[in-house]
Every structure is written in C-alpha cells, then in structure tokens.
C-alpha cells in the first residue's frame, strides 16, 4: 500500500499501519477510499470477509476475527478485552 502523504495524515499512521498489516496477513488490497470508511473493528472484519468470499475462498468469519484480534493485540498492545467488533479505531482503541 503506497499512500499519498495527505491520506496518511488524514487516516493517522497507526491506522495506516493496521491496514497494511491486514492486507499482508490476508493477502488482500483495501483501497484508500474504503480504508477511510472502516472506523470500527467490525467494519474491517466485514470488509475482509467480503473480499475473501469474493475471491472464492471458503471463509470462516470466526477465524478471520481471531486473526484480526491477534494483529491488533500484537501490533498495538491493546488488551484483548477491548478488541471487540464495536470498538472504534480512534475513540475506543486510541489509534490515530
């Protein structure tokens, strides 16, 4: 993901890093205009599941969620109990 400087500034470096890590982990591409709309973990989860299904993969949404939780916990040291679908990336998790 090669983002223009203004996109990185608008999204925040943590969120850009999260998107890039998710893209690598799941071998997907999240367009910039879509990434800016994914404000909750559940939004990201749903979008990744959709991308994988569109690619024709047999997808277990629970497995995708567990991998996503692991990424957020590992990369940002966020306690697992805070990593819920309703969590807002900025307001609940402090990513920016």
What's the confidence (pLDDT) of residue 11? 57
Domain count, the chain: 1
- Domain holding 57, by residue range, is 5-82
What's the confidence (pLDDT) of residue 62? 98
Question: For the chain, what is the largest distance between any 2 Cα atoms, rounded to a whole number of angstroms?
Answer: 36
Task: Say if CB 69 and CB 25 are below 8 A apart.
Answer: no
Task: Say if CB 92 and CB 85 are below 8 A apart.
Answer: no
Per-block mean pLDDT, blocks of 10 residues, the chain (96 long) = 46 87 97 92 98 96 98 96 96 88
In a domain, 96, yes or no: no
In a domain, 88, yes or no: no
Whether pTM exceeds 0.75: yes
In a domain, 47, yes or no: yes
Q: Name the one residue in this structure whose structure tokens are 């309703």.
A: 86
What's the confidence (pLDDT) of residue 6? 45
């Amino acid at each position: 993901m090669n983002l223009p400087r203004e996109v990185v500034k608008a999204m925040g470096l943590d969120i850009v890093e999260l998107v890039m890590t998710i893209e690598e982990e799941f071998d997907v591409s999240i367009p910039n205009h879509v990434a800016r709309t994914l404000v909750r973990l559940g939004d990201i989860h749903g979008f990744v599941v959709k991308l994988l299904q569109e690619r024709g993969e047999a997808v277990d949404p629970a497995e995708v969620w567990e991998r996503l939780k692991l990424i957020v916990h590992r990369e940002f040291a966020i306690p697992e109990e805070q990593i819920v679908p309703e969590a807002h990336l900025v307001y609940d998790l402090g990513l920016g």
